[in-house]
Chains A and B, each alone.
Chain A
Amino acid sequence: MVTIIVIIIAVLLIIIVQYNSMVSLKKKVEQSSSSIEVYLKQRFDLLPNLVETVKAYAKYEKETLEKIIEMRKQYMNNSSDLEEGARLNNECDKVVFLAEKYPELKADAQFLNLQKNLSKLESQLQAARRIYNSNVTIYNTKISVFPNNILAGIFGFKTANLFNINENEAKNINVNLT
């Protein structure tokens, strides 16, 4: 009888420890996700000014630029969607890369200032992304291994998605000007 009680207590303890550990990791993922949102929003706050500056030089891009502003509006209304944020972030980079095709734009003081701020935020965003992905990997591993996967199933812990900006894609964009 005593043995059974000891075993039950031990099992309960393991469940409590593992549950708390999973909750703590989930919190970390949520916190790091919030950091990404903060940097994305800071970047997107610069978009209206950026678009206005670019418009003055790249008149043929009006349609593309308006589409980006529309995407920004939608993101701001339905925030917390990291995938949507990543897409808009890539569009944001496309606008910056337009300068390669318009030398006058490249020399514009306001554009240069915006570009500098955007790169600074991009660097912080990349750092936040690395923290988030690192936390997601730890969390996903934790809830996938036995016996945690059983507990995760019971308590409703679901795997989190990694946040991919695709740096190379962002840095090698060919803007279609036709």
Chain B
Amino acid sequence: MNKFDEIYETIKSESFEELEIERKKANNLRTIPIITSICVSILISLLLHSLIIFPIFIGLFVGFLLSMLKTEYRNKFKNAVIKRFIEEYDSNLCYKPNSGISSSIYDRGFRESYDSYSSDDLIEGMIDNTYPISFAEVHTEIETEDSDGNRSSATVFHGAFACIGSRHNFRTPIMIHSDKGFFGKLFNKKNKIEMDSEVFEKYFDVHAENGIATMQILTSDVMNLMIDFKEKYKTKFEITLNGSNIYIRFYTGSIFEPSLSKKGLDKDFLKKYYDIINFTFDFSKLINKSVNEADI
């Protein structure tokens, strides 16, 4: 039995009956307001001859009720399942669903312009009792304006973000981003490092000022770990080594968000996060190992 199965079985054996009742209740209740609102809307529209304001009002009210139901279940789920899951993964880790990582830390890893920043689902702790780690969901948005002056928000990044400490100080950043294709490469040739792995080059672009240090850090083991994760999970992810930290972000969208229609201990749901956290740990350990071995 591998580590994930052990964690899953441990959590499964614990009593989550109350949570499951809560989920079923929320799931059943959400159909009642929807049906009621549809019925009331049709009735009002027929009686008042297409007065559209009432159905809209009722729709908004139902939406509000639904989000209340979901938030309540979501909080209970995170505090029960995710908290236990993280504790079982590594007892050095602590999960705080309502806390996040500050934007200043995020900016040190990934410099890009955005107008709004939010973060929650924070996991904090130490890797091997040596390197501090912060892992959280991050959502950045930029405001756009069309030719008519209508403003709208567009997501810049939404997913999991991790910041891990390193004993080494990366004086100039090493950026490992997803391959930007032919044109992306054509216009972004500055400090591009050609890696000696064809498969790695297919998936990633590496930019750094110090090519030698980059090659010393990105050993074949590191590159293989990244390739394996990319090929297995197809998740887009990017890495920056800057200052005394390793920054990783995964384009996963919301993390740890339960679905009302799925049971609380959905194995695939937990496996996805297990693999992401596991990769973050393995990658950080490997980078720190290669930095120490190369004595950079």
Question: A residues touching B (Cβ–Cβ < 8 Å)?
Answer: 35, 116, 119-120, 123-124, 126-128, 130-131, 133-135, 137-138
How distant is the Cα of A116 from the Cα of B295 in the complex, in angstroms?
9
How distant is the Cα of A135 from the Cα of B194 in the complex, in angstroms?
7
- Known A135-B194, A138-B194: A130·B295 in contact at CB below 8 Å: no
Q: Which residues of A contact B295 (CB under 8 A)?
A: 116, 119-120, 123
How distant is the Cα of A73 from the Cα of B278 in the complex, in angstroms?
52
Nearest CB on A from B25, distance (A): 59
Is B196 within 8 A of A123, CB to CB? no
**CB nearest to A124 among chain B residues:** B212
B286 within 8 A of A: no
Taking A123-B216, A127-B216, A133-B196 as known contacts, 10 extra A-B pairs with beta carbons closer than 8 A to each other, sorted by chain A number, are: A120-B295, A123-B296, A124-B216, A127-B212, A127-B213, A127-B214, A130-B215, A131-B194, A131-B211, A134-B195
21 residue pairs of the A-B complex, CB under 8 angstroms, read: A35-B212, A120-B294, A123-B294, A123-B295, A124-B294, A126-B215, A126-B216, A127-B213, A127-B214, A127-B216, A127-B294, A130-B196, A130-B215, A131-B193, A131-B194, A131-B196, A131-B212, A131-B215, A133-B196, A135-B194, A138-B194
Q: Which residues of B contact A116 (CB under 8 A)?
A: 295
Is B212 within 8 A of A128, CB to CB? yes
Interface of chain A: mostly helix, strand, loop or mixed: helix
**CB nearest to A32 among chain B residues:** B211
Is A127 within 8 A of B194, CB to CB? no
Q: Which residues of A contact B196 (CB under 8 A)?
A: 130-131, 133-134, 137
Q: Which residues of A contact B211 (CB under 8 A)?
A: 35, 127, 131
Q: Which 5 A-B pairs have the closest CB atoms?
A: A127-B215, A134-B196, A123-B294, A127-B216, A127-B212
Set B194, B213, B296: member contacting A134, Cβ < 8 A: B194
Q: Which residues of A contact B215 (CB under 8 A)?
A: 126-128, 130-131
Per-residue CB proximity of B259-296 to A under 8 Å, as 1/0? Answer: 00000000000000000000000000000000001111
Q: Which residues of B contact A131 (CB under 8 A)?
A: 193-194, 196, 211-212, 215
Nearest CB on A from B274, distance (A): 33
How distant is the Cα of A2 from the Cα of B255 in the complex, in angstroms?
61
How distant is the Cα of A130 from the Cα of B200 in the complex, in angstroms?
14
Interface residues of B in 194-217 (CB under 8 A from A): 194-196, 211-216
**CB nearest to A137 among chain B residues:** B196
